[in-house]
């Protein structure tokens, strides 16, 4: 397994070592380009993938060691920070193993986990080991969003409408802009008359795409016990239209993936006398931060664009956490974000399944 030089410029501290579990499109097109801009503080030292050809080839791009075993990466003393970029079903166990290995900080790609049971296991290990964990919900690290959060005042208490609207071309187009992808699964044509297909598509849409913005939504609905789905529709080939109510707050989640030439990713929060609009750059795109506008009466203030985006923000934060120069986010808050997403996914799937059954019963009668 190839080794790489560890030299650093004379007098400067050695960069923190990064190890990545899973070297698919997200590692190739998102994290490696972000890390390439942060070479003075972070250095990729170990790439692990269950596919050895992928591990070897991606590691060679950055001069890192490679392996096909999680234990080899976690046992590598040159790795200080672990990023978990494997498929979602492995996240919980890998986060737990990285914490138990005593690493300095852990980044887990979204979704953090897929069930309340997994969330509880992560929570217990996080408390036991005190290893800082962040979840790759990149919008929460975007300087445009952070500037809005510092300036929205009482909007979070008085908000009545919260919207996340996403119009994107398929991920593959962005992946191809960013790098030459060497892994991509083949697709198929789904059978939309099968309720399980609809349920899986909606759950996938929420846990895979809406989940980027659900932590933002939760900033405006910290208490979500009374969450109710008013409407839930799958949009073909990939998208959703979901309306929810939590107390007196209406939450609208919309997404459509198509061949659009003009991607749009907007988050809005509106009260009687103030409105926030955040225009994010699409996933995979490394083109600076979101632009946020807060309007009160006739006065609008715009924040951004700033130089870096949320992906780079995640890595900057990880470096600070590993050096203990910043307080980690509470594991409880990450778990509440996950519980919120799972609650929305469960309730949405139930409503969509009931509508599907009704429409089929109607068609038969
Ligand atoms: N933040 C974002 O913008 C964003 C965008 C898309 C996807 N994601 C998330 O990033 C993660 C990776 O996405 P992707 O599109 O690269 O996924 P992918 O499934 O295409 O690739 C993942 C890689 O992990 C490898 N792998 C499989 N099992 C593994 C295991 N047990 N341990 C280590 N590696 C394993 C695969 O061989 C593959 O190379 C997913 O959790 C996804 O939800 C994040």
| pLDDT (0 to 100) of residue 21 | 98
| pLDDT (0 to 100) of residue 188 | 67
The residue whose CA has the least distance to atom 34 of ligand 1 is: 22
- Note whether 19 and 65 are within 8 A (CB): no
| pLDDT (0 to 100) of residue 183 | 53
| pLDDT (0 to 100) of residue 278 | 98
Q: Given the CA of residue 88, which atom of ligand 1 is nearest to it?
A: 41
- Give the separation between CA 310 and CA 200, rounded to whole angstroms: 28
Where in the sequence of the chain do the CATH 3.40.50.720 domains occur? 16-137
Closest CA to 99 of 337, 334, 339, 310: 334
| pLDDT (0 to 100) of residue 7 | 44
Provide CATH code, domain 140-364: 3.30.360.10
Q: Which homologous superfamily does the CATH classification assign to the domain defined by 16-137?
A: NAD(P)-binding Rossmann-like Domain (3.40.50.720)
| pLDDT (0 to 100) of residue 182 | 55
DSSP for 42-95 reads EEEEEEE-SSHHHHHHHHHHHT-EEES-HHHHHT-TT--EEEE-S-GGGHHHHH
| pLDDT (0 to 100) of residue 72 | 98
The residue whose CA has the least distance to atom 31 of ligand 1 is: 90
Determine how β-strand 238-246 pairs with β-strand 228-234.
antiparallel
Where in the sequence of the chain do the CATH 3.30.360.10 domains occur? 140-364
From the CA of 86, how far away is ligand 1's center (Å)?
4
Closest CA to 28 of 69, 72, 61: 61
- Note whether 164 and 216 are within 8 A (CB): yes
| pLDDT (0 to 100) of residue 3 | 43
Cβ(92) – ligand 1 distance below 6 Å? no
From the CA of 124, how far away is ligand 1's center (Å)?
25
pLDDT, mean of each 10-residue run, the chain (365 residues): 46 88 95 96 98 98 98 98 96 96 95 86 89 94 98 97 91 56 60 87 91 96 90 89 96 89 91 97 86 96 96 97 92 88 94 83 61
Cβ(88) – ligand 1 distance below 6 Å? yes
Cβ(51) – ligand 1 distance below 6 Å? yes
pTM for the whole structure: 0.90
Closest CA to 275 of 111, 365, 148: 148
| pLDDT (0 to 100) of residue 141 | 97
């Amino acid at each position: 397994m190839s080794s790489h030089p560890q030299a650093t410029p004379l007098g400067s501290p050695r960069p923190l070592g990064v190890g990545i579990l899973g070297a698919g499109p997200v590692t190739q097109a998102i994290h490696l380009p972000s890390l390439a801009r942060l070479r003075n503080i972070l250095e990729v030292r170990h790439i692990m993938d269950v596919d050895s050809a992928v591990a070897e080839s991606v590691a060679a791009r950055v001069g890192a060691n490679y392996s096909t075993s999680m234990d080899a990466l976690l046992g590598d003393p040159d790795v200080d920070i672990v990023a978990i970029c494997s498929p979602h079903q492995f996240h919980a166990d890998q986060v737990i193993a990285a914490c138990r290995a005593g690493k300095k900080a852990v980044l887990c790609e979204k979704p953090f986990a897929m069930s309340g049971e997994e969330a509880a296991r992560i929570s217990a290990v996080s408390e036991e080991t005190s290893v800082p964990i962040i979840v790759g919900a990149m919008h929460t690290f975007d300087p445009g969003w952070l500037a809005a959060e510092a300036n929205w005042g009482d909007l979070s208490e008085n908000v009545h409408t919260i919207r996340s609207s996403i119009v994107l071309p398929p991920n593959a187009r962005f992946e191809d802009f960013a790098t030459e992808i060497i892994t991509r699964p083949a697709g198929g044509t789904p059978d939309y008359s099968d309720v399980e297909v609809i349920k899986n598509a909606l759950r996938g849409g929420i846990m895979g795409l809406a989940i980027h913005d659900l932590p933002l939504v939760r900033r405006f609905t910290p208490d979500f016990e009374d969450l109710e789905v008013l409407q839930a529709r799958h949009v073909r080939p990939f998208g959703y239209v979901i309306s929810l109510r939590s107390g007196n707050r209406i939450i609208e989640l919309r997404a459509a993936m198509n061949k659009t030439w003009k991607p749009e990713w907007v988050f809005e929060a509106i009260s009687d006398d103030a409105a926030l609009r955040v225009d994010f750059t699409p996933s995979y795109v490394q083109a600076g931060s979101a632009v946020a506008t807060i309007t009160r009466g006739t006065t609008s203030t715009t924040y951004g664009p700033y130089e870096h985006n949320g992906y780079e923000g995640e890595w900057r934060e990880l470096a600070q956490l590993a050096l203990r120069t910043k307080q980690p986010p509470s594991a409880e808050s990450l778990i509440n974000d996950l519980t919120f997403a799972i609650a929305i996914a469960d309730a949405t799937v139930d409503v969509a399944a009931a509508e599907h059954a009704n429409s089929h019963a109607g068609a038969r009668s």
